[in-house]
C-alpha cells in the first residue's frame, strides 16, 4: 500500500514531467508565460526535477531529498501560478482553491521527507 500511496502522491509530477517531455515546445512556452529566464533550460530542469524526484520518492533512494525538492518546487510554482490575490470573483475563488490545494501537497511532501529522514536517522 505504501508504494501505491507514494505513486499517487507523485502522479501529478510524473504526468507533468512526461507531458512536458513529449511537448517540449509547450513546456518552453509555459516557462516563457511565467517570465522565467532561459525558458528552454528552465523547461528541461523542471522535467528532470519532476521525473527524477518522483523516482527517488517511489524507489526509496534518498526519498527525503526527492520529497523536499518537490515540496520547494511546488511552493515556488504555486506562488507564480496561483496568484489569487490579483484576481476577483469566481477566478479568485478557483485560484485560491488551487493555491491551498498545493499548500496541502507541499505539506504531504514535507511529511514524507521528515518521516524518511527520521527513519534513516533512527537506523
DSSP secondary structure string, the chain?
A: -HHHHHHHHHHHHHHHHHHHHHTHHHHHHHHHHTT-SSHHHHHHHHHHHHHHHHHHHHHTTTHHHHHHHHHHHHHHHHHHH--GGG--HHHHHHHHHHHHHHHHHHHHHHHHHHHHHHHHHT-
Question: What pTM was computed for the model?
Answer: 0.95
pLDDT value at position 8? 98
pLDDT value at position 123? 77
pLDDT value at position 103? 98
In order along its 123 residues, the chain shows pLDDT tens digits of 999 999 999 999 999 999 999 999 999 999 999 999 999 999 999 999 999 999 999 999 999 999 999 999 999 999 999 999 999 999 999 999 999 999 999 999 999 999 999 998 997
Amino acid at each position: 500500500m505504501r508504494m501505491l500511496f507514494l505513486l499517487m502522491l507523485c502522479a501529478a509530477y510524473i504526468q507533468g514531467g512526461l507531458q512536458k517531455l513529449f511537448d517540449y515546445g509547450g513546456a518552453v512556452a509555459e516557462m516563457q508565460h511565467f517570465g522565467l529566464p532561459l525558458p528552454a533550460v528552465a523547461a528541461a530542469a523542471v522535467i528532470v526535477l519532476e521525473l527524477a524526484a518522483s523516482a527517488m520518492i517511489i524507489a526509496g533512494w534518498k526519498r527525503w531529498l526527492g520529497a523536499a525538492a518537490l515540496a520547494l518546487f511546488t511552493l515556488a510554482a504555486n506562488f507564480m501560478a496561483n496568484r489569487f490575490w490579483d484576481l476577483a470573483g469566481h477566478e479568485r475563488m478557483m485560484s485560491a482553491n488551487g493555491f491551498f490545494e498545493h499548500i496541502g501537497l507541499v505539506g504531504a511532501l514535507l511529511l514524507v521527507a521528515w518521516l524518511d529522514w527520521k527513519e534513516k536517522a533512527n537506523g
